[in-house]
Each structure stands twice: as structure tokens, then as C-alpha cells.
Structure 1
Amino acid sequence: MRSTTARPANIHQARLLRLLRDLGPQSRVALGNQVELSRSKLAFEIDRLLETGLVVPDGLAASRGGRRSHNVRIAPSLRFLGVDIGATSVDVAVTNAELNVLGHVTEPLDVRDGPVAVFERVLALVGKLREAGSAEHFDGAGIGVPGPVRFPEGVPIAPPIMPGWDGFPVREAMSQELGCPVLVDNDVNLLALGEQQAGVARSVPDFLCVKLGTGIGCGIVVGGGVHRGVTGSAGDIGHIQLDPDGPRCACGKTGCLEAYFGGNALVRDATALARSGRSAELAGRLESAGRLTPEDVSAAAAAGDAAALDLVRRGGRRTGQVIAGLVSFFNPGLVVIGGGLTGLGHNLLASIRTQVYRQSPPLATGNLPIVLGQVAGVVGAARLISDHIFSPP
């Protein structure tokens, strides 16, 4: 079913819609306290939003004495689709206009299978959500992919861990399939938007969100908005070089952070430890399963295996080395660590913190929290597309 969602006519209506999205149902008086509009202008803009169906009445507000104000809320029929494609899995969720998740499915997936196969799986998961009653239509969709994206066109550009995706018109193709507006972004930018919407960064206008997984990236939020750079490659910290003589990276260069501590690098080094006999715990797991995963490293470290612990701590120090440079340059108010490798536990976070606090200047780190993320990227995907829908044409 093709979306026919109206759009706000001006910046005042867009501001009102975003307030109702983020704060829930509000009285006209409460909205008036949030925006710099005269009472008559506010009433006019709300009435226009009611006429378009983007906003609906929601009963009487709580009494403050005198005449009671009427509540309004954003239309509960609006539906947004969030898709977060990782290197090894995909999350798909449906939200309402207040970005509450109404349905969520996830499954393993190999992004190296290419865009056609991956989006066949995505559309199958979307079909499951529709069958479950989460949505009959979508008013917009946000999609994240684990690589650099030319944002205006929604096209991945030379993504190192996504063979076959270079130049694929994700935004155009999925908009045709879903019948609604689509925006495409790097997955870590969506993680940052999710934390800003419903996680640890809700009141922080300037922060970094680092995703540690098969790839490593950083979402940069400045003044409340995602900074993507001129071409969309801002935050590609996994390919900052630590050592020109280091291991070869998937990008073709050597000594990148990702080549030392991305998910594949962690498995590579853990397998070497197991085969050399330096880690009895990992050797046992390798013999049992025939291959190792980051979860095996986490379990071995939790069991007190010294070699596995050292592997985690070294990865944390290297990651902290890069983050320390970012902190010295950007001076954020918060650093959020997310992604699959956060399952390695407290030792990883402690190593990152220690390196950053040791390496960056005291003025930058004196009141700098470095914390684990709380929110899935699909929430950020829904936030991305809702920002677009709730903007003037």
C-alpha cells in the first residue's frame, strides 16, 4: 500500500510535530510554552495540522484552574519502518509516530551475499511484521548499512565489508518496493540517533557513538544533529591507521584499527591463540565447534582465561587510542560504545576508558562519561525517517 502521508507546510508545523513525537500528547498550553509563537499563530498551525490528519485530538488536559485546555497528539495511525543491516544479522522494526516499537524481528544474515539477496530477506521480514498486524502500510522507512553511504542519494560507496554493494541504489529500490519515502545511512549514525532518541544521549547535544562489530565506525553528533561530512564518510574510524606495518585490512590498506580489533580480526587472533596452545579455553571451544566466534572469546575471558583476557584488553587499548584522538579533537560531552563486541564485557570498556583518560587532556576528560549504549539501531532508523517526514517539503 503506497503512503500518502501529508507533510508539514512550514517550519512551525515541523517543530510542533517533532515535539509531539518526542514528548507524547500535549496540551496547547504546554506546546505554547515550548515554541515562540503567538497564541493565535499557534492555534492556527495546530488547526492546520488537525485538518491534514497529522495531528488528532486527545481529550482534555489536566486542570490547572480555569478553562481546561485540549490535548493533541501525533496521529496514532502513522507507521515507520526501521531496518538495521549489519555484517552478520539484520533487525527490522515497525514503530508508531512516537517511535515506540510495535513489532521487531531479527535474524542472522551475511551482508556479503549482496544487496539483492539481503533485501529479499528484509522484505520477507517486513511481510512477517505485516502479517502479525504491526502495520498495513508505511509512511516512511529508514535503512542502515555497515559501510559508507552517499547520503543524499542513499547509495553505498566502496564499502570494505560489503562486496557487491558499491553504487547499489538502495534508497530508490526500496522506496519502489515499500511504496514510501526511504532514507539510507551508515548503521553507526542510526545507532547514534537511537541513543539520542531513547537512550543514554537524550540530553547531550555533542557526543560520539562508537560501534564495535565486524566493522568499526563512529557516529558524530554536533549540536543535536548527525555530522556526515561533505561526502558522507565522516566517522569511518575503523580505517584510521595505527601502524603502517600492521595486518592487512579488508579495505586493502594495512594497520587499520579494524584490522586489529574488528570482529574478524578478533576471531583470527583467538584462533591463533587456540591453535598455539596459549589458550586452553579457546582450544577446547575450537575443537568442539570447529570455529570460534567473538562470543567464545567473551566466554573464555569470563572464565578467567588469561590469553583471552589479554586479547580483549589489547583490543580495548587500541580502540581507546583512536577514541582518545577523537576526544582531544572534538571534546564531546559523552562517548557511547555499542555494537556486538560490547558483549566482551567490562574488561573491554575498562580498557577503553583507561586509555582515553590517560591519553586525552584533562580538560577534555575531566567530566567525560564513556558508557555502553542501550538502544537498537532500528529506533535510530525510525528517527531518521521521521525527521524527514516531519520536515517542510
Structure 2
Amino acid sequence: MPSDRYTGLAAVLGAIRSSSDITQPMLVEQVGLGRSVVAQRVAELEAAGLVVSDGFGPSTGGRAPRRLRLNSGAGYVLGADIATNELVVGVADLSGALLDTRHREIDVVDGPDVVVALVEQLAGELVDGVGAGRSLWSFGVGMPGPVAYDDGGPAALPTMPEWTRHPTRRRLTDRFGVPVWMDNRTNLSALGERRVNPLAARSRHMVYLGGGYGIGAAVVVDGRIHRGAHGLAGAIDHLPVPGAADVACRCGRTGCLEAVAGGGALVRDGRLLAETGQSPALARVLERTGRIRPSDVTGAAGSGDAAARALLHRAATLLGRSLATLVTVFDPDLVVVGGGIARARAHVLAAIREEIYRSALPAATRDLRIEPSAFDQEIAGITGAVEFALGELFSPENLPTVLDARDRSGTVATLEEGLPA
């Protein structure tokens, strides 16, 4: 259990991190601590090099108060967003601002040895590129499935058996010498949404629809990600869909939501529409490129192709129905539609809203807002992975080790010795 001192330090640092224009009197109001306590905590953070002065705020009659800001240049963090079919790795400063990213197409079924080796390669290039060296502080990783958060490994799922047994966290810790934290990439996208979207940041209870070829949802309860006992909270991808019992899913069962409404389903059904001539637009894409991607279905719908529009509408209806279950159970004030489906928002958002309002309890939808993500979806996951790395690093539980490492060496080169591996 963190002491009151470190709880206060984390609260002060968190308030400074989340504001671009904050003074010490404003901190007193925000964190609910006395003026002398706040002054002590600010002094400690300044001594550790985490907080610096940034000019003066307006005077209210006496001496003008100092503005405070995070010393974003004191170090760097890495993030990796591992999706089913793509990988994004990024490096950021301590404010969470992305400095550079690398993107590669992958196939997660190639296994963890192949994918993690690519993560190591790209992350190493980024560290060298920005000159992070011994100024690297932590690494946040988004996984393409549920993660058992307490022990940091992927949950046991039939779709990722090799990943369940792979020491991904230990391997990356050994390679980069910093603490590594892992979570479901949909949870991290929700964290990223709360960082950049003021509406999501104000929400205390939120459901975030994410994922790419797969489908996932993140649940925010009282301002915090709700993971459940085994990291499976929000895992709607393998909920059964009535009437779809003949559709095989990659998990080995049939009739799962992902199998009928995920990105892979759009590829499968879109290709069928192209091959049978029901979608002239997709037939032209298939003839030209030899494949159909989810973005091709969206493009065809945008060009007025009736079959592509109907396909997206059906997927949106099924997604809305499953989200309605989460709305009824968790009673959020906001639903954010992100992930790959957000790129087709013009064709799916209305149908998702309609199905949620139709299927969820009326009391749960009385003042519910259902909005598209504010993100460029290509960086949603990596932004969340970086925010996750920083949030864990500066938590009351881990901040003592961070400050101790700074006291001992002026760097965080020995940080991993005291943090969970």
C-alpha cells in the first residue's frame, strides 16, 4: 500500500502532467492537499528533475505564482501496438508526445518469436534514432487479445496459444533494460482516447469499441479501466450471435460476433460479393489488386455500392446489439466507436446508435452519448500504449522506485531492478 507521501506525489505529478498551464495554488485546489504539503511535493518532484518552472501565472494581488510543467525532455518511453495484422511501435517523451513511429504489416499467427523480434528491431531503431540510450524509462505494449493484468501475460485463449506461453514481457525487459507493462490493445486505445478526447476525458463511465480484424471493447468504470478477474472484461468478440451458428470462428467455435462482424468477416463477405458480381465496385477492386480489405468495403460503400453498404449496415447492427448488452450491464454515460470500424463511421454510426437505443434498457440510454473516436485510428493504440507506460511508471505504487533511481544515479538506468518484471 503506497504511503500518503507517495500518493500525494503521484497526485501532484498527475495534475501537472494533465495540464499545460498550472500553478501551485491551482494544484492545492485540484489535489485537495494543504499548501505546505503541495509545496513539499512540488519541491521533491523538482529535485528529481520531473517538474520544472515555466514562467509565472497571473497575480491575484501578491507575488505572481510560478507555472509548473512536466520536464518532458528528462526521458523517453516506448510503446508497441500489436494488432492481428499490423504492428506500430513508437517512442515518446515523458509528456506522451510521439517523437517517431514505425509501422509494419504482420500476421499474428506467425507467432510471438517472429513478431516480438520485429518489435525489438523497430524499437531499437527508434531508441537509436532519438538518442534515448540510458534515458529510456519504460515500455507499454498492447496485445491483440486479453491480458491477465496482474501477472502481465496474455490470457489463455485458443486463438493465441503460443502467445500465452511466450515470455514476451521478460524478453523485452531484458532487451531494453526497463520495466514493461502489457494490456489488451483495446484497453490501451481507450486510454489514448481519454488522453486526446475531452469528451472521453470527462466521462467517468465509458464503453469503447475497438479492434481491427478482431473486435473488442474496453470498459471504464469510475474513471479507470475495468479489466475483470482475468482480463476479459469487454471481450465481446466471441459472444454468440443468434442465427450465425453455421459461421466458423478462428477460436474453434461457431457463430461468434467476430466471425460475422469483424474485419475478417468483411473481407470474407466482401470477396463473395465481388466474386458473385453483387458488388460491382468490389469486383473491380478484386480484379485490380487480387484481394479485398475492410477499407475496400468502406470505399465501395462510399462510392454508392448498395451491396457494400448493406454489408456494413449488417455488421453495425450486430455490433450495436452486443454493445447494448454492455450498456445495460455497465450503465456508461458515453460509448465511443473506435477501431477499424470507425473508418466507416459515415456508414455504421447511425446503425450502431439505433441498435443500442433499441436493445438496451431505456433507463441506461436516457442521457447516453454515442460518438465516433476523436483519433486517427492508425495511432490510437500506440498513443494509448505510451500513456499506459507513463501511467504505470508514475503510479503511487511505482513512483518510489522512480524517485529512488533518480536520487541514486540521476538517471533511470537501474529502474527495472525495483519494478515488476
Give the shorter-chain TM-score range: over 0.9
Name the counterpart of 2:75. Answer: 78
Structure-1 separation of matches of 2:387 and 2:125: 22
- Asked whether the 8 Å contact 1:220–1:227 carries over to 2, the reply is yes
- Asked whether the 8 Å contact 2:56–2:66 carries over to 1, the reply is yes
Structure-2 separation of matches of 1:160 and 1:271: 26
Name the counterpart of 1:3. Answer: none
- Asked whether the 8 Å contact 2:12–2:38 carries over to 1, the reply is no
Q: Which residues of 2 match residues 290-309 of structure 1 at below 5 A?
A: 290-309=290-309
Structure-1 separation of matches of 2:95 and 2:27: 16
- Asked whether the 8 Å contact 1:154–1:170 carries over to 2, the reply is no
> CA distance change for structure 1 residues 54 and 347 in 2, over 3 Å: closer, same or farther?
same
Name the counterpart of 1:165. Answer: 163
**SS at 1:57's partner residue?**
strand
Name the counterpart of 2:392. Answer: 388
Q: Which residues of 2 match residues 27-106 of structure 1 at below 5 A?
A: 27-76=23-72, 77-106=74-103
**SS at 1:142's partner residue?**
strand
- Give the Å deviation of 1:161: 4.4
Structure-2 separation of matches of 1:343 and 1:198: 18
Structure-2 separation of matches of 1:251 and 1:43: 55
Deviates more, 1:125-134 or 1:83-92: 125-134
**SS at 1:355's partner residue?**
helix
Structure-1 separation of matches of 2:211 and 2:32: 41
- Give the Å deviation of 1:277: 2.2
Structure-2 separation of matches of 1:105 and 1:62: 42
Structure-2 separation of matches of 1:310 and 1:169: 43
Structure-1 separation of matches of 2:313 and 2:229: 35
Q: AA paired with 2:273? A: L
Structure-2 separation of matches of 1:172 and 1:369: 41
> CA distance change for structure 1 residues 126 and 25 in 2, over 3 Å: closer, same or farther?
farther
Name the counterpart of 1:342. Answer: 342
- Give the Å deviation of 1:25: 5.1
- Asked whether the 8 Å contact 2:345–2:372 carries over to 1, the reply is no
Name the counterpart of 1:174. Answer: 172
Deviates more, 1:317-326 or 1:66-75: 66-75
**SS at 2:201's partner residue?**
coil
**SS at 1:352's partner residue?**
helix
> CA distance change for structure 1 residues 345 and 49 in 2, over 3 Å: closer, same or farther?
closer
> CA distance change for structure 1 residues 57 and 261 in 2, over 3 Å: closer, same or farther?
same
When normalised by structure 1's length, the TM-score is 0.93
Name the counterpart of 1:240. Answer: 239
- Asked whether the 8 Å contact 1:141–1:382 carries over to 2, the reply is yes
Name the counterpart of 1:229. Answer: 228
- Asked whether the 8 Å contact 1:153–1:171 carries over to 2, the reply is no
Q: AA paired with 1:239? A: H
- After superposition, the CA RMSD in angstroms is 2.0
Name the counterpart of 1:125. Answer: 122
Q: Which runs of 5+ in 1 are unaligned?
A: 1-6
Name the counterpart of 1:203. Answer: 202
Q: Which runs of 5+ in 2 are unaligned?
A: 398-421
Q: Deviations over 1:127-184 (max 9, x none)?
A: 3323432633321111001111111222112345445212222222111111111110
- Give the Å deviation of 1:9: 5.5
- Asked whether the 8 Å contact 2:77–2:137 carries over to 1, the reply is yes
Name the counterpart of 1:4. Answer: none
Q: AA paired with 1:13? A: L
Structure-1 separation of matches of 2:298 and 2:61: 58
Q: Deviations over 1:274-295 (max 9, x none)?
A: 2222222222221222221112
